[in-house]
Structure 1
Amino acid sequence: MIERIFQSIPEGRLSEADQQSFLVSLGWSRGATWNDLLRSRRVLIISEAGAGKTFECRSQARLLSDAGEPAFFVELAGLAKGELRSLLDDEEEARLDAWLSSQSDVATFFLDSIDEQQLSLGSFERALKRFKKGIGSQLGRARIVITTRPIAFDEELVRGLLPVPPVSSTESNEEAFAKIAMRTEKKQQNSNRDEEVADWRTVALMPLSDAQIVDFARGQGVESPAALLNDLQRRNAQEFARRPQDLIELCADWREHKRIRTHHDQVAANVRIKLQPRDDRSEAAELSVDRALEGASRLALAMLVTRRLTIRHSAAADAIHSDAALEPAIILSDWKPNERKALLERPLFGFASYGRVRFHHRSVADYLAAQRLRALRERGMPFRAMQRLLFAETKGKLIVRPSKRPVAGWLAITDNAIFEMLRDNEPAVLLNEGDPESLTPTQRNQALRAYVECYGKGGWRGLKVPHIQIHRFASPDACA
């Protein structure tokens, strides 16, 4: 079993705690393990969907139980609908009763938001209150680990409803001495740590490190996991492998193709996999992959045009937000409500905030918006209409609208007219956006020549091609 790493979330950065780029910037050194976390009495774990938080909490609950300690795994969505005991089997309920009557043992409760989109602000609060009621007056003997979302509401609710009670003033001198002695011993054992263990910890579950990617891939049956990592590094594509769920999919693809495919192929495959019907629970409606793909691409284009960053999933979005989210009922007006619900609860979309979802990867949204424009062109959309959407004329020059650059890059792969407009006006887009590797050798030669002619004489400042795009663009048959 891979030992996952956790990092404390810096003050004021809670909203970024589920963003992979931010977490990678924190690094893995000096991170905490489960042994470190379980020394605290309250632990809030922030992570994005697919990061492995549910697996980790289940595993830790099982390890503690196997070691003879009272430990329980409880889904918050279930707790929002029923009492604590109704979620436990007979053995777990007997273990709970034994702990409640012991008056000395410490029990560990893992409260997991496995189904984030089913939790509203009200149901999250209701779940915490039911848990508190379920353990009676024993908060002081409970170690509580909660997986939650990167929003201040959740943290404030947890701190308010599940406080750490002060040590009882009625404890004997012998008990106090024993606690001091144990604390001193722990300090000596952990003398390399700069500060005493805090009662409260708010941490992020770190993405997989390169070494963990290798170990994980080996467990997935990849015969040469080091070769997989080398290919990922060569393409700077580790972002598609740092979440356990993504790496499982990538390993399956690697076992079939023995290589990391082009960025275009990766994104296309990733989209179809994440739009498959869910097998972990029943869905609101039946929805084929092709219909889900059509709906997702329509939403992606609408988000591009309206510049909305999130999609309304439920009425919970209206209670705490002042800014507008994209309304799927308007964009997918020909769909039934349950079909829209089923689409937004597939893994292509992730939790954004209460009642709102977003595309899991920005590159996926850009790719899908381009796919929708391509489909509209095939159905008769005039080229001038697409040109007006993507391009603008300023000071006699044709430029790509800044927010439309990624979509234009993706379109250039399959639409020669768009490619030629970019080549002749803004060749940097052909290198910076989309997947340059999917351009033909002739197109790459033309793009490189146009780039040199446009920018080779200097005068441009801050012009920089992302390192990963250089890797994708490079080809033995490309020459200026």
Structure 2
Amino acid sequence: MVSVDINRVFAEITQDDLNKDDAYLLPDNRYGAKSWAELDDCQCVVILGEGKCGKTFEFQKQDNLLKDQNKYSFFIALEQLQDFDFLEVITDTEELQFEEWKGTDQEACFFLDAVDELKLRSGTLRSALRRIKHAIGIAQLPQAKFYISCRPNDWNDEIDILALRTLVATRETGKKEYEDFIDGEEELKRIVSNENTTSMHESNEEASKQSAIKIYSLLPFDNGGIEQFANRYAPEHYEEFINYLNEKELWHLYRLPYEILSALDQLSTDGKLGDLQEQLDFGISQKLKERLLLRGGLLSETRALEAVERIAFALFMMQRRSISLEATPGKPHLVSISEILTDFSPTELDELIRKPIFTITGVKQYRFHHRASQEYLAAKQLKKLKENGLKTNDLFNFLFAEIGGEKVLIPSMEPITAWMALWNRDIFNEVKTRSPALMFRQGMPALLDIEQRAELIRCFVNKYSQNSGWSGVGIGQRELQKIASPELSGVIRECWDEAYQGYETRELLIELIYFTPLVDCTDLAKQALHDCDLNMAHRVYAAWTILEFGSVEDKKELGKFVLSDEWPQRLRRQLISKLLPESITLDEFIALAQELEEVSNNVHGLGYELYKCVESEAIDLKSVATIRDGFSQIIWENRTEESRIFRADSKYQHFADAVYCSCSKTVPYSKEEFEDWAWSLAVAFHFSEYQESIIARDEVKALKDTLKTSLVHREAYYWACLKLATALEGEIDLLISDYHIDHPNLLNPFGENDIPWLLDALTNSKSKDMRDASICKLLRLITIQKLPKLEETLIELISADSEYYPYLQRKLHPVPIEPDEYEREIKQRQKEANEKEEERKTGLNGESKF
């Protein structure tokens, strides 16, 4: 992967994501996404991502960054551990670093790349991890942090997690002797049969190991990421590329770094953007043309292309990924290039292996720079063999098999089969009968003409319409978007009745209607929406279709159903974000939000849907402000009786993310708008958990920045906090009021710029609470900072008969020996407040409620 410095982000995958019917679809939720620096809360991080999304590049980049910081880090291609021990696959320098690390108590990071590559060679994660564990040793294992990458379809959560759990060591029990790896399948059988019931201690230990492993997806680029990546890689073609995506509405085809690079390279050379095949031809040609400065020039591009096609095909047939320049006895995972290209001279081979189409993976070990290039080149070689006389039966034997009477594709040859199906009608016919989904997933959907796409849909429906439940053959949303075309509406109607009987076939058509979109098929979506026997996900897509592309009457009718109690809560929750402004009124929306129940411990619950509604551009800012004020008031009015300033709870605190977002979109600039905005923000910050947000992270950060930099917004927020604190705590004593106001410390530090609005409150406010709070803050300022002008001002303002005079005198003339009575009283009052809070948290039996 070409080095383009852009920060990638990750979304955590929950067990629900892995268990759901369409688990091969990774979540693409960017709210709450984490950066590399934030993936540090567990010992083992699994990174899942589709092919060509940049997993290997990201691992290598992080490995290099850590090494540049003089930290211990090791990048390992897992497939190499199928045949060799750990020390044999790292460099001499890395081996010295590894032995040095084993004598320290510092952390080392191990980037273990491509579980899917390992499995392609029939290797097991269990055996590869055993080699790593043996090299590290039990005592040092707690100082090791692991990152593992894999394609989603190759990740077996149950089996692979069992393998990882034996590798993970908690920091507390690092010296304990761990048992050897448990065979994953045997362990699953034992669990199912309830053999050898574990003790509570063992269960806790296993739970601890489980929590030390987290699974994330490497998110594809959103539109902003595509723009940023393209601008940094090829700024001279950036504008043309983005205009092309906007004009053709093809953003969804360029979510991965590889897709963007191929397109921009071709645009730079040919002046146009070609399809995938044209992009691959272009990229391969560019890499084969590149010559070394001090050597080379013997190989023509034609001869080099012939060579790489033969190498790619040989590696597929031998199920290998790596090659070497010299013969390597005892290394079965390597294929010597001289054994494949027997008609090439050593000098030619030496030049070829150094072409940028190959990348170094170890000492004298190489592989194709991109798997997509290898797959395409191997297919081209097989196509040549067919053109040169290879019999059809022999060709089919390369690609197809029969197992237990069922005609199947040979899994390791699927990428080649997909390409061959594009070029050979007989193979296409065989593929669409045996596994039509291949041409959606593994193949190149954008290269298929409309009739081919229609044929595949018909065959998919015919093959799977009898599957009433989920069976794992569904098509991913990205793939569907690539074949989507308005011209498919005819075949959708043709297949509808038959497809409706099967789970995946019905899902295919419903999602195609939504993603294309097929506006003239919304009547079919309406049928699915009102079928109460359908899977919830199918009804949701059907509803989304109507809400976005249906008639005004259909949208209003749908809104009435959502407002009624006829539909399940889950369905209504997932639709609420799209109901405004056409399906229901603003008042109905706020009432519905109160009626629906939140799903606990779920980032995709009601709170997220409400946030999405406010965050969208569908509603105007006046409506956003109405939602803001309404939601904050609902949070406030439904607070618990036990709520205090340091622990505020409400039945509706899941509204906070929507309030954050609405506050961010309605930052006021006129005086009359400040009070409502500041009150809503104060309620959100005090009633949301830990004054933070996973979903509205960007908005929270922007709001905090506003409170740090804008005096008018600081002032409004401070007085809103005073109002809130007074309501929650009752009458607040002057001595301790500063501890209650803005307890999340969002306004700190206070400085000279804040003095004018604090003095204004002290001298002009009619509210005693505001005057008390301002003098308290001003007195604290002259204590912490040297502010002689402020001291002079306060002396002028506060006369001897003022209630604030004793406090001012104590600040200006503290007793040098005895502890300051004022400060001591503050501490005593705060101690008493803390004791009361602790009593509130304590149950009748003396145990903590929390």
Which secondary structure does the structure 1 equivalent of 2:335 belong to?
Answer: coil
Quote the Cα distance in structure 1 between the aligned partners of 2:312 and 2:410.
17
Distance 1:462 1:311, change over 3 A: same
1:282 corresponding residue in structure 2? 294
| Distance in 1 (alpha carbons) for counterparts of 2:270 and 2:297 | 34
Unmatched runs of 5 consecutive residues or more in structure 2: 9-35, 78-88, 103-144, 148-217, 492-850
Distance 1:312 1:457, change over 3 A: same
1:68 corresponds to which residue? none
Structure 1 SS opposite 2:423: coil
Q: Separation in 1 of the partners of 2:363 and 2:63?
A: 29
> What root-mean-square deviation, in Å, do the aligned CA atoms of Structure 1 and Structure 2 show?
4.6
Give the helix-richer structure, 1 or 2.
2
- The DSSP-based 3-state class of the residue aligned with 2:313 is helix
Alignment of structure 1 residues 343-422 onto 2, 5 Å = 343-422=352-431
Q: 1 CA distance for matches of 2:351 and 2:95?
A: 31
In structure 1, what residue type is equivalent to 2:279? Q
Distance change in 2, residues 1:358/1:252 (3 Å): closer
Partner of residue 433 from structure 1, selected from 415, 428, 442: 442
1:239 to 249, 252, 257: 257
Write out per-residue CA displacement over residues 158-178 of structure 1, whole angstroms, 9 at most, x where no aligned residue. Answer: 567999xxxxxxxxxxxxxxx
- Paired AA for residue 220 in structure 1: E
Please say if 1:306 is aligned against 2:342: no
* Distance of aligned partners of 1:33 and 1:46 in 2 relative to their CA distance in 1, 3 Å threshold: closer
Partner residue in 2 for 1:337: 346
SS of residue paired to 1:342: helix
| Distance in structure 2 (CA, Å) of the matches to 1:454 and 1:439 | 20
Cα distance change of structure 1 residues 5 and 470 upon mapping to structure 2, 3 Å threshold: closer
Counterparts of 1:32 and 1:388, CA distance in 2: 42
The Cα of 1:415 is off from its aligned counterpart by 0.6
Structure 2 match to 1:295: 307
Instruction: For residue 394 of structure 2, give the secondary structure of its aligned residue in structure 1.
Output: helix
**1:330, 1:2 → 2: CA distance?**
36
Which whole-Å CA distance do the structure 2 matches of 1:286 and 1:13 have between them? 46
Q: Which residue identity is paired with 1:336? A: S
Q: Percent identity?
A: 23
Amino acid at match of 1:432: R
- Are residues 229 and 345 of structure 1, via their aligned partners in 2, closer, same or farther at CA, if it must alter by over 3 Å? farther
Q: Any idea what the Cα deviations from partners look like across 1:45-89, whole Å, max 9, x if unmatched?
A: 9799xxxxxxxxxxxxxxxxxxxxxxxxxxxxxxxxxxxxxxxxx
C-alpha contact (below 8 Å) 1:235/1:472 kept by paired residues: yes
Q: Which amino acid aligns with 1:337?
A: P
Cα drift, residue 304 of structure 1: 0.9
1:220 has 2:159 as partner? no
SS of structure 1 residue aligned to 2:317: helix
The alpha-carbon distance between structure 1 residues 422 and 331, as it changes in their structure 2 partners (threshold 3 A), is same
Q: Secondary structure at the match of 1:326?
A: strand
Structure 1 spans left out of the alignment, 5+ residues: 49-149, 164-200
Relative to 1, partners in 2 of residues 1:252 and 1:424: Cα closer, same or farther, differing over 3 Å? closer
Q: Deviations over 1:86-139 (max 9, x none)?
A: xxxxxxxxxxxxxxxxxxxxxxxxxxxxxxxxxxxxxxxxxxxxxxxxxxxxxx
The alpha-carbon distance between structure 1 residues 283 and 442, as it changes in their structure 2 partners (threshold 3 A), is farther
Tell me the distance in 1 between the aligned counterparts of 2:45 and 2:93. Answer: 15
Matches within 5 A, 1:54-69: none
Aligned partner of 1:473 in structure 2 is 483
Maintained 8 Å contact 2:326/2:336:
no
What secondary structure, in the 3-state scheme, does the structure 1 residue paired with 2:321 have?
Answer: coil
Aligned to 2:466: 457
| Counterpart secondary structure, 1:477 | helix
Matched-pair contact (CA < 8 Å) for 1:328–1:340:
yes
| Aligned AA (1:267) | L
* Structure 1 SS opposite 2:474: coil
Distance 1:368 1:387, change over 3 A: same
Q: Given the superposition, is the C-alpha separation of residues 265 and 475 from structure 1 closer, same or farther in structure 2, using an over 3 Å criterion? A: farther
**TM-score normalised per structure 2:** 0.34
Following superposition of structure 1 onto structure 2, how do residues 126-141 of structure 1 map, counting pairs within 5 Å? Answer: none
Distance 1:229 1:377 in 2: 37
Report the CA distance between 1:43 and its aligned residue: 8.2
State the SS of the aligned residue for 1:275: helix
2:463 and 2:342 map into 1 onto residues whose CA distance is 45
Q: Check the 8 A contact 2:432/2:459 in 1, yes or no.
A: yes
Task: Measure, in 1, the Cα distance between the counterparts of 2:241 and 2:445.
Answer: 27
Larger CA Rg, structure 1 vs 2: 2
User: Is contact 2:379–2:419 with CA below 8 Å preserved after alignment?
Assistant: yes
Q: Which of 138, 151, 157 is residue 96 of structure 2 equivalent to?
A: 157
Q: Residues 468 and 3 from structure 1, CA distance in 2 versus in 1: closer, same or farther, beyond 3 angstroms?
A: closer
User: Deviation at 1:362?
Assistant: 1.4
Aligned to 1:254: 267
| Maintained 8 Å contact 1:275/1:346 | yes
Residue 299 (structure 1) shift: 0.8
C-alpha change, 1:222 and 1:438, in structure 2 (3 Å) is same
CA contact (8 A) 2:440 2:479 kept: yes
Tell me how far 1:254 sits from its aligned partner.
2.6
CA distance in 2, matches of 1:289, 1:46: 33
Distance 1:442 1:152 in 2: 53
Distance, in Å, in 1 between the alignment partners of 2:360 and 2:64 is 25
Partner AA of 1:301 in structure 2: F
Higher relative contact order (CA 8 A, sep 6+): 1
Asked if the contact 2:400/2:410 (under 8 Å) is kept, the reply is yes
The structure with the largest strand share of the pair is: 1
**Other-structure match for 1:263:** 276
Show the 5 A alignment for 1:154-233: 154-158=93-97, 210=226, 212-217=228-233, 219-224=235-240, 226-227=242-243, 233=251
Q: In 1, distance between residues paired with 2:100 and 2:354?
A: 29
Closer/same/farther in 2, CA of residues 475 and 268 from structure 1, 3 Å limit: farther
CA contact (8 A) 2:311 2:340 kept: yes
| Whole-angstrom CA distance in 1 between matches of 2:63 and 2:427 | 49
Q: Secondary structure at the match of 2:467?
A: coil
| CA spacing shift, 1:22–1:374, aligned 2, 3 Å | same
Distance in 2 between the 1:155 and 1:237 partners?
35
The one-letter code matched in structure 1 to 2:256 is Q
Greater shift in the superposed pair: 398-407 or 469-478: 469-478
User: For residue 55 of structure 2, what is the amino acid of its counterpart?
Assistant: F
**Secondary structure of 1:240 counterpart:** helix
Q: Measured at CA, do residues 355 and 407 of structure 1 come closer, stay the same or move farther in structure 2, by a change above 3 Å?
A: same
Residue from 41, 55, 65 that aligns with 1:22: 55
* DSSP-derived class of the 1:351 partner: strand
Is 2:231–2:238's contact at 8 Å kept on the other side of the alignment? no
What letter corresponds to residue 293 of structure 1 in structure 2?
A: L
Structure 2 counterpart of 1:283, which letter?
R
2: CA distance between counterparts of 1:257 and 1:476? Answer: 30
Q: Secondary structure at the match of 1:352?
A: strand
Q: 1:436·1:472 contact (CA, 8 Å) conserved in 2?
A: yes
> Distance in 2 between the 1:448 and 1:257 partners?
34
Q: Structure 2: how far apart are the matches of 1:15 and 1:356?
A: 25
